[in-house]
Structure 1
Amino acid sequence: MNITVQDFTGIYDYQPFMQELREKATKSADIHWLDCTKIVGTDCYCDDDAIKEINDLIDNAERSSKGINVSNSVNNSINNSTETVPQIHFFDNGNYHYMSKLWTDRIQEPFSLIVFDHHPDMQPPRFGGILSCGGWVLEVLDNNKFVQNVIIIGVADRLVDEIRAEIASYPSDARNDDICILDKVSFFKESELEKEIPLSSFIYQQNSLSSNIYLSIDKDALAPAYAATNWDQGSLSTEALKATIADLAANHKIIGIDICGERSHDFEGSEQHTIQDADALNNNLNRELFDFLQKL
């Protein structure tokens, strides 16, 4: 698998494992380390100029490693799974989860999007349609012709109810979709994680999945015992996360994997974690997920 790390805040400086990847990126064409710290207009919201700059960074990294011409961010794609693009993407904290929208823009074949997140990330845009960490899933559903359906796992119960009510209240002509957005998205609430049925069984019971699956993981879906993030967290365990991914990979082709949910750079400690504990926890989790995903 190929790996891309997008460093937006410098948080990976505090994780030895990520620094190992940074060092390896200087010697391996399979690992890309993209310094995004100087790009303006990226925190929570990503404006058009920032999107272009980010896509240019990705394209240039692939051009240098493959020695081919890269035309643009849409055509530089996972084309019928024959062209290999970086398959594991780390991109900082949850404020940058919109990167999953930019990565899935590159897919040129039908796929199902499975998101692990404590938040639905389906809020309508508030600033003239600008892409945001809180609304990127809605953007994918609205604009990506290849996405067949979206499954969001671990969302706080009240947020699921709120977003369902909000979307159901849209005027019938508010969107260009032939079907309601809610017909293409399924939620597995945080309370449902307490059931002893494997998550993959829930998914198969209620969804017809594409043969291709794209995974987007925000670590705030995990309980604080497993990660320290910059948003309120859910109750998913690392074991349940890995078991679900393994079950999905056994029956489908995983065409991309995103990982975000680091602590904020200005984190000063909390009731659950000191700064040092948070960094150690996240460092170990990133290494664990990396090792696990490499074996799929």
Structure 2
Amino acid sequence: MMITVQDFTGVYAEQPFMQKLRTTAETSKDVRWLDCTKIVGTDCYCDDDAIKEINELIDNAESNSKSESERNIENRGNSTNVPTIHFFDNGNYHYMSKLWTDRVQEPFTLIVFDHHPDMQPPRFGGILSCGGWVKEVLDNNKFIQNVIIIGVKDELVETVREELSQSGESSILEKVTFIRESELSILSSLICSDFVNVLSPNLYISIDKDALSPTYAATNWDQGSLTLDALKNFITTLTAGRKILGIDICGERAHDFEGDEHHTVQEADKLNSELNRELVVFLKKI
């Protein structure tokens, strides 16, 4: 499984596991480290120039560092995608999931773990944002079949419904299923019911670690109450018998984080480093 790391703020510098990946990227074609720290116009909002620069960076990396397994697949004429894990810094860059799903060329269901719905109507001339990227995918990706958003703060679901109703775009919600934070305890029963029937055979998974309790992650947004074991169990169940097209992970601490009631800076970096390692180990097995 390929791993691509996009470093926007330098926050990975204090995470031993991520620095190990950076070292591995120097010699392995299965890990790519993309330095995005000098790209302007990316924090929370991503303007057109930044999108172009990011896509060019990804294109160059993909052409230069295809893994041996990918080369073998291509040589056999097999177009099956090799699932890739994408890390891209803190939640301000969650819009990267829109750019990565733009590259999908077959029908899929988008599974999002997030404490926020990320479906705000655009407020600045349609510019891509971390708070509205899911809506952008629904509006513009011809392959998207539906979206499942898991762990959303309850009151934000109603806020999004009101905003989309006011903008005359509420019909988009016909393709969206919200699993509120208060419903996480019954999610297992939902998954075992007709819920799974709405899923495409192809899944794209996007994880913002702010869906997790502060026990498991230190992020730059307010956090939910999802446990790591529950996250793993949900992914295992949802992906059974389905093809995974890609897996995104964001939700690091803010680069200027100075500690809070949950973690010191050092505790946050240690916690996030271990979580990223554990997620990679887990995801490689599904």
- Fold agreement, TM-score > 0.5: yes
CA distance in 2, matches of 1:134, 1:234: 16
1:224 aligns with 2:214: yes
Amino acid across the alignment from 1:23: T
- Aligned partner of 2:56 in structure 1 is 56
Matching residue within 271, 274, 277 for 1:284: 274
Matching residue within 130, 136, 141 for 2:138: 141
- Aligned partner of 2:181 in structure 1 is 190
Q: Is the 8 A contact 1:198 1:244 kept in 2?
A: no
Deviation of the 1:252 alpha carbon: 1.0
Deviation per CA, 1:176-212, whole angstroms, max 9, x where unpaired? xxx910100010000111337356336x427511100
CA distance in 2, matches of 1:196, 1:139: 26
Percent identity of paired positions between Structure 1 and Structure 2? 70
CA distance in 1, matches of 2:40, 2:53: 10
Q: Is the 8 A contact 2:81 2:245 kept in 1?
A: no
CA distance in 1, matches of 2:254, 2:190: 29
- Aligned partner of 1:70 in structure 2 is none
CA distance in 1, matches of 2:227, 2:257: 23
Amino acid across the alignment from 1:61: A
CA distance in 2, matches of 1:261, 1:66: 27
Listed as ranges, the matches of 1:268-279 within 5 Å are 268-279=258-269
Q: 1:232 to 1:125 in 2, by over 3 A?
A: same
CA distance in 2, matches of 1:197, 1:110: 25
1:25 aligns with 2:31: no
CA distance in 2, matches of 1:117, 1:57: 27
Amino acid across the alignment from 1:101: K
Deviation per CA, 1:139-180, whole angstroms, max 9, x where unpaired? 000000100000000000000011112212333xxx6xxx91
- Aligned partner of 2:248 in structure 1 is 258
Q: Is the 8 A contact 2:45 2:128 kept in 1?
A: yes
- Secondary structure in 2 aligned to 1:257? strand
RMSD of Structure 2 on Structure 1 (CA) = 1.9
- Secondary structure in 2 aligned to 1:22? helix
Deviation per CA, 1:27-56, whole angstroms, max 9, x where unpaired? 111111000000000000000000000000
- Secondary structure in 1 aligned to 2:65? helix
Deviation of the 1:85 alpha carbon: 5.8
Amino acid across the alignment from 1:241: L
Matching residue within 100, 112, 129 for 2:126: 129
Amino acid across the alignment from 1:135: G
Deviation per CA, 1:3-45, whole angstroms, max 9, x where unpaired? 1000000000010000010011011111110000000000000
Q: 1:241 to 1:148 in 2, by over 3 A?
A: same
Amino acid across the alignment from 2:174: D
CA distance in 1, matches of 2:152, 2:197: 17
Matching residue within 104, 108, 118 for 2:105: 108
Q: Is the 8 A contact 1:94 1:218 kept in 2?
A: yes
CA distance in 2, matches of 1:226, 1:199: 24
Q: Which runs of 4+ in 1 moved over 6 A?
A: none
- Aligned partner of 1:242 in structure 2 is 232
- Secondary structure in 2 aligned to 1:282? helix
After TM superposition, the score normalised by the length of structure 1 is 0.89
User: Which structure: greater helix fraction?
Assistant: 2
Amino acid across the alignment from 2:6: Q
Q: Is the 8 A contact 1:160 1:187 kept in 2?
A: yes
Amino acid across the alignment from 2:274: N
CA distance in 2, matches of 1:199, 1:263: 32
Amino acid across the alignment from 2:165: A
Unpaired runs of at least 5, structure 2: 68-77
Deviation per CA, 1:193-238, whole angstroms, max 9, x where unpaired? 1337356336x42751110000000000000101000000000000
Task: Work out the number of aligned pairs and report it.
Answer: 277
